[in-house]
Amino acid sequence: MTAQLILHEGREKSLKRRHPWIFSKAVKEVRNAPQNGGDIEILTSDGAFLAKGSYSPNSQIRARVWSFDREETVDQAFFARRISEAAAARELMLKETGMSASRLVDAESDGLPGLIIDRYNNFLVLEVLSAGAEYHLREITGALRELFPEDSIYERSDVEVRTKEGLELRKGVIYGELPPEELAITENGGMKILVNIQEGHKTGYYLDQRDNRAALAKYCKGKSVLNCFSYTGGFSLYALKGRAVSVANVDVSQKALDIAKKNIVLNHLDPGRVKFIREDVFSFLRKEKKLGHTYDVVVLDPPKFAESKSQLEKACRGYKDINMIAASIINPGGYLMTYSCSGHMTPDLFQKVVADALLDAGRDGQIVEFLTQASDHPVALPYPEALYLKGLVVRIK
**Catalytic (active-site) positions:** 341
Which uninterrupted H or E stretch holds 82?
helix 76-97
Q: What's the angle, vertex CA 317, arms to CA 312 and CA 322, rounded to 5?
A: 125
Please give the DSSP secondary-structure letter assigned to residue 254.
Answer: H
Smallest gap from Cβ 284 to ligand SAH, in A, equals 7
Q: Which of 78, 123, 206, 350 binds ligand SAH (CB under 6 A)?
A: 206
Smallest gap from Cβ 193 to ligand SAH, in A, equals 8
Smallest gap from Cβ 162 to ligand SAH, in A, equals 21
Cβ of 272: how many Cβ atoms within 10 Å? Answer: 7
How many residues form the binding site for ligand SAH (CB under 6 A)?
18
Contact status: 234 vs ligand SAH (CB under 6 A): yes
Q: Alpha-carbon distance 109 to 384, whole Å? A: 9
Interacting residues with ligand SAH between 94 and 123 (CB under 6 A): none
Q: Which residues pair with 338 in a beta bridge?
A: 300, 392
Q: Which of 141, 157, 209, 338 binds ligand SAH (CB under 6 A)?
A: 209
Smallest gap from Cβ 342 to ligand SAH, in A, equals 12
Residues 6 or more apart in contact with residue 80 via CB below 8 angstroms:
143, 146, 147
Exposure on the CB side of residue 32, measured as CA atoms within 13 A: 9
Q: Which of 55, 229, 238, 319 binds ligand SAH (CB under 6 A)?
A: 229
Q: Which of 55, 120, 154, 235 binds ligand SAH (CB under 6 A)?
A: 235
Comparing CB distances to ligand SAH, the nearer of 321 and 385 is: 321
Contact status: 252 vs ligand SAH (CB under 6 A): yes
Smallest gap from Cβ 16 to ligand SAH, in A, equals 38
112 Rama sector, left if φ>0, alpha if ψ -120 to 50, beta otherwise: beta
Contact status: 394 vs ligand SAH (CB under 6 A): no
Q: Collapsing DSSP states into helix, strand and coil, what is residue 258?
A: helix
Q: Collapsing DSSP states into helix, strand and coil, what is residue 191?
A: strand
Please give the DSSP secondary-structure letter assigned to residue 381.
Answer: T
Q: Of 15-23, 44-52, 205-213, 323-331, which segment contacts ligand SAH by CB under 6 A?
A: 205-213
Q: Which of 127, 187, 251, 376 binds ligand SAH (CB under 6 A)?
A: 251
Which uninterrupted H or E stretch holds 42?
strand 39-43
Contact status: 199 vs ligand SAH (CB under 6 A): no
Picking from 30, 27, 25, the residue whose alpha carbon sits closest to that of residue 2 is 30
Comparing CB distances to ligand SAH, the nearer of 139 and 369 is: 369
Q: Which of 66, 78, 219, 231 binds ligand SAH (CB under 6 A)?
A: 231
Comparing CB distances to ligand SAH, the nearer of 140 and 274 is: 274
Q: Which of 256, 259, 354, 389 binds ligand SAH (CB under 6 A)?
A: 256
Tell me if 260 sits within 8 A of 266, measured CB to CB. Answer: no
Comparing CB distances to ligand SAH, the nearer of 106 and 251 is: 251
Residues 6 or more apart in contact with residue 191 via CB below 8 angstroms:
213, 237, 238, 241, 267
Q: Alpha-carbon distance 30 to 46, whole Å? A: 14
Contact map string, positions 303 to 322, toward ligand SAH, x by CB under 6 A: x-------------------
Q: Alpha-carbon distance 61 to 283, whole Å? A: 38
Which uninterrupted H or E stretch holds 324?
helix 312-328
Smallest gap from Cβ 214 to ligand SAH, in A, equals 11
Comparing CB distances to ligand SAH, the nearer of 123 and 231 is: 231
Q: Of 19-27, 96-104, 129-137, 248-256, which segment contacts ligand SAH by CB under 6 A?
A: 248-256
Q: Which residues pair with 194 in a beta bridge?
A: 184
CA distances to 113, 215, 395, 396 from 337, in Å: 32, 10, 9, 10
Smallest gap from Cβ 358 to ligand SAH, in A, equals 21
27 Rama sector, left if φ>0, alpha if ψ -120 to 50, beta otherwise: beta
Interacting residues with ligand SAH between 259 and 298 (CB under 6 A): 280-282
> Interface residues with ligand SAH (CB under 6 A)?
206, 209, 213, 229, 231-232, 234-235, 250-253, 256, 280-282, 301, 303
